[in-house]
Structure 1
Amino acid sequence: MLIQTEPESDAVSLFFEELPKEEIHPINYKDVVESLNYVYDSLLEPWTFVVVLDLDRLEILYANDNCLHLFGEGGKLLTSQYLPFAFLRPESQSLFKRVISQFENMVQAVSSKRRNFIKTQWVGMRLKPLNGKPWVSFATLMPLSARIDGTPNVVLMINQNISHLYNANFVWLRQSCTRVSQCNAHFHSRTGEVFNHDILSKRELEVLKLIAKGYNSQRIASELSISVNTVSNHRKNMMDRVGVSDTTALLQIAQWCDLI
């Protein structure tokens, strides 16, 4: 699993309690990313890459070596700054600003005490690697710097390729809090709305957890006192909303989202 949801040392909480506010002096984001290696598994594996994104200027302040190896240095502005649009396929460019805006709205809705602990999964953005092979991003966003009001203005994005799992043409966000493991909201580009509940319903999560245990539809129906047809409908609805075509992909993405 790429992300450790609840590190034993509570290192995430300790780090984000010290978020810099409106930094005047430049931050060495390479050092910041490397300092977080003890929080994240497989941070620098070939199938992942890391960028630091400035939300105010929509510029990439830091891209690690994996990112530059995969996508090159197109869109480079200064020594350490890149335009995110240089990494996006054309069909994702119109969505990018829209999703960033919705991310900001979702953060604004969270109480100021929790804003430092927000973790967001951003699923379905299409990127254009140098080798031309399809790349669909599963990205986890974590705040690195905050505005005076506590909302993040610089975020860490850990990306991995899920093109082998994801077959939809929409994008969704899922926001949760690292401290209380509670989902706050999700956004789905298919509807264009932000919902103040998880991407999967409570009943769907019950079904999903039994699927993860290896239960077949008949046993799930018996366990939950529902019909086999209802189980099948829940399974279909979950795959449709998440953007996958089989249960294996659904379980993998659900695990990365800390849903199971």
Structure 2
Amino acid sequence: MLLSKEIETNLVRLQETINKYYPDPIEIDYEKHIVQTRYFSLFEQNKGDLTIIFDIKHCKIVNISKNITNFTGYNRKEFGENITLGFISLLAPDHISFINVFSTWIQKVLEDLNKHYRYEHFLNCWGIKFYNKAGETMKWHLSALPLELDAEGKPLLVFISIQDITHLMKGDDYWIRGVFGREEKKISVYHSNEDKTAEQEILSEREKEVLKYINQGLNTKQIADVLGISPNTVDNHRRNMLARTGTRDTTALIHLCKMTGIV
């Protein structure tokens, strides 16, 4: 697989970011984490997910599940010696900067957090565009769970689970959402179209209420009666939720919000 000039440029920037935030040599026991996550990885694969263990410091895919061909059309051998570069080369041209945006974003968010929030966090990205071997556009949802942190709470090794959500999404934007802390939580959301971070949940509490009743099968008038608001307000909430998440319709909205843990 050949790397475009733009990918090479973004990889250089990514390495600069990594060197800035991880200046010291780091040794990680890969085998320990591969063994510890084996059953969870099989569970995710049985759901149809692609799973990856990724070393952030060395920008390296340590382990990837065998169903990679189902997702990309390429078998393991076709990715060559450096599967990380092969994988990155599948990014759509307008989403190539995602790798650098994400790495810079997570480090900046962690820097701004009080230390006790850093040691437990969960990340979601959705709407990321890749091309498969047939040249078809795919939109993926990535959820990332840190397996090992450094002394400052920065992730060193992460377990990534990937789902194909092409059927749920519309438009060309992507989102990054981080939930930090155990009991008291901090949430940060990045939207590529706005190129800024909001330090709040992507949906308001009222919108979550509306979504809960939509999921229960209530129609617009019934939801309005339950919440004591007008049907127009219910419809406005519905439209705003679709726009904020990039989803195609209400069914897709519910699916994505459950998948990402928003509800």
Q: 1:105 to 1:238 in 2, by over 3 A?
A: same
Structure-2 separation of matches of 1:25 and 1:209: 42
Q: Tell me which moved more, 88-97 or 246-255.
A: 88-97
Return the offset for 1:148.
2.6
Q: Tell me, yes or no, if structure 1 residue 65 matches structure 2 residue 69.
A: no
Alignment of 1:164-179 (within 5 A): 164-177=167-180, 179=182
Q: 1:147 to 1:219 in 2, by over 3 A?
A: same
Deviations 1:174-225 (A, max 9, x none): 2124733845211111111111100111221111111111111111112222
Letter in 2 for 1:53: F
Q: 1:49 to 1:245 in 2, by over 3 A?
A: same
Residue of 216, 237, 242 corresponding to 2:240: 237
Residue of 222, 230, 234 corresponding to 1:219: 222
Q: Tell me, yes or no, if structure 1 residue 30 matches structure 2 residue 34.
A: yes
- Secondary structure in 1 aligned to 2:113? coil
Unpaired runs of at least 5, structure 1 = 1-20
* Aligned match of 1:56: 57
CA RMSD of aligned residues (A): 2.5
Asked whether the equivalents of residues 117 and 186 of structure 2 are also in contact (C-alpha less than 8 Å), the reply is: no
Aligned residues: 235
Q: 1:161 to 1:69 in 2, by over 3 A?
A: closer
Q: Tell me, yes or no, if structure 1 residue 258 matches structure 2 residue 261.
A: yes
Letter in 2 for 1:123: W
Q: Tell me, yes or no, if structure 1 residue 152 matches structure 2 residue 161.
A: no
Q: 1:42 to 1:26 in 2, by over 3 A?
A: closer
Return the offset for 1:27.
1.3
- Secondary structure in 2 aligned to 1:241? helix
Residue of 81, 84, 87 corresponding to 1:82: 84
Asked whether the equivalents of residues 138 and 166 of structure 2 are also in contact (C-alpha less than 8 Å), the reply is: yes
Return the offset for 1:91.
2.3
Give the TM-score normalised by structure 2: 0.79
Q: Tell me which moved more, 122-131 or 45-54.
A: 45-54
Residue of 61, 81, 100 corresponding to 2:103: 100
Asked whether the equivalents of residues 119 and 181 of structure 2 are also in contact (C-alpha less than 8 Å), the reply is: no
Q: Tell me, yes or no, if structure 1 residue 117 matches structure 2 residue 132.
A: no
Q: Tell me which moved more, 196-205 or 218-227.
A: 218-227
Deviations 1:94-128 (A, max 9, x none): 22211222122223333333323201111111122
Q: 1:127 to 1:42 in 2, by over 3 A?
A: farther
Asked whether the equivalents of residues 188 and 197 of structure 2 are also in contact (C-alpha less than 8 Å), the reply is: yes
Structure-2 separation of matches of 1:25 and 1:249: 39
Give the TM-score normalised by structure 1: 0.80
Task: Name the % identity.
Answer: 24
Structure-2 separation of matches of 1:113 and 1:32: 25
Structure-2 separation of matches of 1:165 and 1:181: 31
- Secondary structure in 1 aligned to 2:119? helix
Alignment of 1:2-13 (within 5 A): none
Q: 1:120 to 1:25 in 2, by over 3 A?
A: closer
* Aligned match of 2:6: none
Deviations 1:13-66 (A, max 9, x none): xxxxxxxx97525412532430435xxx84113731011223334332222211
Structure-2 separation of matches of 1:25 and 1:95: 25
Asked whether the equivalents of residues 116 and 143 of structure 1 are also in contact (C-alpha less than 8 Å), the reply is: no
Letter in 1 for 2:191: H
Letter in 1 for 2:38: E
Unpaired runs of at least 5, structure 2 = 1-23
Asked whether the equivalents of residues 108 and 151 of structure 1 are also in contact (C-alpha less than 8 Å), the reply is: no
Q: 1:218 to 1:183 in 2, by over 3 A?
A: farther
